[in-house]
């Protein structure tokens, strides 16, 4: 059955990791670690929005070297993601209810980081469960990590003992920094089969150049075909389950990833798809207009830069930018702005080098606009000897 109902933007809280002594290293002798069970993949594919897969890791374990009765499932990145990334964390475990109390992050030396991870989708069938959490605009860790002790780890704390568990974490640049704006549609599904079986989480609508993240898990460790149009993030398998993640940055519209599992015996499948929206583009004045005489070119040239939600320049922006008077401060007559008032940005920057205003006044402002971006208004400036 498919579930498109939002399971609630569940509030999760940060654990005081130093107190509980959690560590997500790959040391198999440490009961809080999960040995890796498959290859990780670093990709650099991105869409026009600039959303890029930054890092991805996965680990599964059914008990060997892990310890019966664990309540902790976690994994560290082998290389830290970037500050401001969005992190998607999917957990797999043996159990029929979501008993995760906390999803949070810390450094490998135990230092709490404390980003907020929100439950997006949970699905259970055949005695197993899969839950996906998202954090946006992650902060408070070194980028890059100066040592393995400063690697960022994500983990879940369960209220009960887990004998089989796993985690897939992936980080993406270019996602909107606020979760309310970042999180788009999502859907999950589960089912069973004994031969060639399609795992279909359901169709969702995806905004233009948004991220479509898909993950599938099965209790049959068999061959699998990726969804058409999606790129593999990473995968892993062990004696009991196999899990794979995929993503796409489509032009927009309906997205319906379908994994083809080749089961040799009765098995259960799970699948989730979610959408994360790209960071919005804003215009900012990086060189403000300055006081000058009437009919005299404003110097230095007024400069406007396209930036994302975090204030980072967007060099891929080449849109047409228009500048105009916002507050007309002409003393006797309204001022008129002359010069080249519409031009295309180059590497995300628009430079207006020949602007002038004909009427004296105190407290003029200029406004810049461009299709698909947030407009900006300059600081006040004067025309004349004021």
From the list 60, 70, 26, 57, the residue with the least C-alpha distance to 241 is 60
Q: Which pLDDT score is estimated for 69?
A: 54
Q: Which residues of 315-332 are buried (b: 16+ CB within 10 A; e: fewer)?
A: eebebebebebeebbbee
- DSSP track, 105-172: EEETTS-B-----EEEEEEEETTEEEEEEEE-S--SS-SS-SSGGG-EEEEEEEEEEESSEEEEEEEE
Task: Kindly report, residue by residue over 143-156, the tens digit of the pLDDT.
Answer: 999 999 999 999 99
Q: Which pLDDT score is estimated for 314?
A: 85
Q: What residue spans of 137-276 are helical by DSSP H?
A: 179-182
Task: Kindly report, residue by residue over 217-250, the tens digit of the pLDDT.
Answer: 999 999 999 999 999 999 999 888 999 999 999 8
* 199 to 95, 121, 222, 226: CA distances (angstroms): 20, 16, 13, 10
Confidence class of residue 166 from pLDDT cuts 50, 70 and 90?
very high
Confidence class of residue 160 from pLDDT cuts 50, 70 and 90?
very high
Task: Kindly report, residue by residue over 256-281, the tens digit of the pLDDT.
Answer: 999 999 999 999 999 999 999 888 88
Dist. CA 372–CA 375, nearest whole Å: 9
Measure the CA angle with vertex 271, ends 151 and 36; round to 5°: 30
Q: State both tokens at 279.
A: 């960071």
Provide the mean pLDDT of the chain: 85
């Amino acid at each position: 059955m498919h579930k498109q109902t939002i399971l609630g933007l569940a509030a999760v809280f940060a654990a005081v990791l130093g107190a509980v002594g959690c560590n997500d290293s790959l040391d198999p002798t440490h009961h809080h670690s999960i040995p890796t069970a498959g290859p990780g993949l670093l990709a650099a594919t991105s869409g026009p929005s600039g959303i890029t897969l930054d890092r991805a890791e996965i680990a599964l374990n059914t008990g060997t070297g892990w310890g019966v009765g664990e309540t902790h499932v976690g994994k560290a990145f082998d290389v830290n993601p970037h500050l401001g990334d969005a992190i998607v964390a999917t957990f797999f475990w043996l159990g029929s209810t979501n008993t995760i109390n906390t999803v949070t992050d810390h450094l490998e030396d135990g230092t709490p980081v404390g980003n907020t991870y929100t439950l997006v989708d949970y699905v259970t069938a055949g005695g197993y469960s899969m839950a996906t959490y998202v954090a946006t605009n992650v902060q408070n860790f070194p980028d890059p990590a100066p040592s393995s002790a400063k690697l960022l780890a994500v983990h879940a704390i369960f209220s009960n003992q887990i004998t089989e568990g796993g985690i897939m974490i992936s980080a993406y640049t270019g996602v909107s920094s606020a979760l309310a704006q970042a999180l788009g549609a999502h859907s999950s599904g589960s089912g069973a089969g004994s031969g060639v079986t399609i795992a279909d989480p359901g169709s969702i609508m995806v905004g233009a150049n948004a991220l479509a993240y898909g993950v599938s898990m099965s209790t049959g460790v068999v061959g699998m075909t990726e969804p058409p149009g999606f790129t593999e993030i990473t995968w892993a398998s062990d004696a009991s389950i196999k899990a794979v993640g995929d993503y796409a940055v489509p032009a927009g519209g309906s997205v319906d990833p379908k994994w083809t599992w080749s089961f040799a015996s009765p098995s259960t499948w799970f699948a989730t798809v979610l959408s994360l929206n790209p960071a919005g583009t804003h215009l900012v004045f990086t060189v403000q207009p300055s006081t000058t005489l009437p009919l005299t070119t404003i110097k230095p040239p007024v400069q406007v830069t396209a930036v994302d939600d975090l204030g980072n320049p967007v060099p891929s922006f080449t849109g047409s930018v228009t500048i105009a008077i916002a507050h007309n401060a002409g003393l006797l007559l309204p001022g008129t702005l002359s010069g080249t008032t519409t031009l295309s940005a180059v590497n995300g920057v628009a430079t207006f080098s020949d602007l002038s205003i004909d009427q004296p006044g105190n407290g003029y402002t200029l406004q810049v606009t461009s299709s698909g971006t947030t407009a900006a208004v300059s600081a006040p400036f004067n025309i004349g000897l004021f």
